[in-house]
Amino acid sequence: MLLGSPDALGQFGPWYGDTQNNSPTSTSAIEVAQRNTHDQALSPHQSHPKKNSSLLGTFYRLATPTASARFSEEHLVQHYFAEVCPLFSCYGSNANPFHRLVKDLWTDSTTIHRAVQSMAIAHLSNQYPYMAPLGRAKRSQAWRSLQADLRAYRSGRISLEKVLMSCLLLGVSSPWHTPTNLGLPYLFIARTLIQGYMRTETLRPHNTLSDEKFYLDAFMYWEMLASFFEPVAMTSFPLGAPDPPILIRGEAVTPHPWTGIAPELHFALAEIGRLSRRRTNRLAMKHSDSQAMMQKDEMDCEWASSLERLVGSIQLPAPDDIVDHGDEKTSRRDLLWTTEAYRYVGLLEIYLIFPSLLSNRVNRGDSFPSMDEHVFLPPTEDTGFAKNQDAWLSTIALHALRLIKDIPLSSAACRMHLLVLAFAGS
């Protein structure tokens, strides 16, 4: 699948130790660090005695290990492209926009340069925990640089693409540095820019956005993630859900690194997240007007019914119609099965919030979508559940899990499975 500005730590300069190789074209950052620290590891007694005086200090993260990893900015950027970028997407190849576009942008954008370094450090800090403050320092520098970029964008001196990419990289990676940091400030900035672009794109020449579909789908995914915890949720849409696009056999579908092959499902999930937030907020308002709450519940139920129809009617492309994304470990069927699993967890969330919609569907005898050998089987009579509703919910959740069960862990499509597991497990 797939959010603050931590305090700056100004004492850290652009270099994290000297390196013995300034052009690690085929060596990972971790291998470089291990080579640079090898001599120190063999000669621990050469360090200052006070640094080795307490193993407990190191255990409490009060001391820095003697054999410190050393990375240059060049190594960090390379680590982003070699290791971080594939973890950030549902397919890993040079065709991935987070590889292709960042490669084109980072040399001319201080913010993107610092953002990819901070992401690389966050990943490396899993192996070198004492590097975490360096990552937060880089994020703080990137945040200040982003403020300058926003001023430059308003005066037409920088492209919208650079600002949006900076927000994407810094926002979605915020929890990598601080788990409780959801990066919402970056989303709010990007949301304002995207809304302005969509309203005025024909009026401002410098506002042209290349790779438009990539950015719009990326922000649809980000909005979907945020919808489940954003403080204020928008009201239901009175005109009903939009009609899903009708796929033409043979029409090429290019996978998106975050939304895969069906961004419409992420729109539906984002709206379902809003439904969930509104319902939770209303239940917390004990002294509200009950009549008004009932009217709002009725409106939300109608909107949920519209979303239910949208989720069920979205057409998925045939495997041969999916553009080759260049990742041999991630098959097109992996993406298809993952997308179908998203369809089922979307239905699951709708029925958890509005059980009456599931009862109506069961009573009507409406069938559930099936794909290839993954045929949806309704619950049997002897399920062990006291309520038939619970048996159906469990069956839907298990079907979503069965859809992704046979996808190998080596497939980058597994990056999209966290949401499926979270929804099905709830």
Question: For residue 128, is pLDDT > 70?
Answer: yes
* Confidence at residue 115, expressed as pLDDT on a 0 to 100 scale: 98
Residues 294 and 255 in one domain: yes
pLDDT of 5 over the 60 cut: no
Check the CA dihedral 339-399-358-1 and report its sign. negative
136 contact partners, CB below 8 Å, separation of at least 6: 6, 7, 9, 118, 177, 178
Residue 75 lies in domain: 70-240
Helix (H, G, I), strand (E, B) or coil at 330: coil
**281 and 328 both lie in a single domain:** yes
Q: Whole-prediction pTM value?
A: 0.81
- Residue 358 has a pLDDT of 96
Least confident segment among 87-91, 118-122, 337-341: 87-91
Q: What tens digit of pLDDT does each residue of 249-293 get?
A: 567 899 999 999 999 999 999 999 999 988 888 877 766 667 888
- Does the pLDDT at position 296 exceed 90? no
Question: Is the pLDDT confidence value at 400 over 70?
Answer: yes
Q: According to the model, what pLDDT value does residue 181 have?
A: 93
Write the DSSP string, 127-168: T-GGGHHHHHHHHHHHHHHHHHHHHHHHTTSS-HHHHHHHHH
User: Is residue 175 included in any domain, yes or no?
Assistant: yes
Q: What is the pLDDT of residue 11?
A: 31
Task: Write down the pLDDT at residue 21.
Answer: 38
Residue 62 pLDDT level (bands cut at 50, 70, 90) = low
Q: Note whether 338 and 421 are same-domain residues.
A: yes
- Quote the longest CA-to-CA distance of the chain: 78
Q: Is residue 327 helix, strand or coil? A: coil
Does pLDDT of 61 surpass 70? no
- What pLDDT shows up at residue 372? 72
What is the per-residue pLDDT for 172?
94
- Say if residue 219 is in the same domain as residue 325: no
Number of domains making up the chain: 2
Q: Can you give the three-state secondary structure of 343-407, one letter per residue?
A: HHHHHHHHHHHCHHHHHHHHHHCCCCCCECCECCCCCCCCCCCCCHHHHHHHHHHHHHHHHHHCC
Inform me whether the pLDDT recorded for 236 exceeds 60: yes
In a shared domain, residues 177 and 291: no
CB atoms within 10 A of CB 216: 17
- Any domain includes 228: yes
Specify if 12 maps to a domain.
Answer: no
Q: Residue 162 above 80 pLDDT? A: yes
Which pLDDT score is estimated for 382? 73
- Of the chain, the percentage scoring pLDDT greater than 90 comes to 56
Claim to verify: residue 121 and residue 153 sit in the same structural domain: yes
Residue (of 228, 408, 386) closest to 331 by Cα position: 408
Report the distance separating Cα 117 and Cα 113, nearest Å: 6
397: tokens are 């959740």
Average pLDDT, the chain: 83
Checking if the pLDDT of 147 tops 70, the result is yes
Contacts (Cβ under 8 Å, ≥6 apart) of 400: 341, 344, 345, 348, 420, 423, 424
User: Residues 37-53: pLDDT tens digits?
Assistant: 444 433 444 445 454 45
Q: Looking at residues 90-96, what average pLDDT do you find?
A: 89
Domain end: 184, 214, 240, which one?
A: 240
Residue 68 confidence (pLDDT): 54
Return phi, psi of residue 256, to 5°.
-100, 140
**Residues 6+ positions from 33 with CB-CB distance below 8 Å:** 69, 70, 71, 75, 124, 128
**Least confident residue range of 41-50, 84-93, 204-213, 258-267:** 41-50
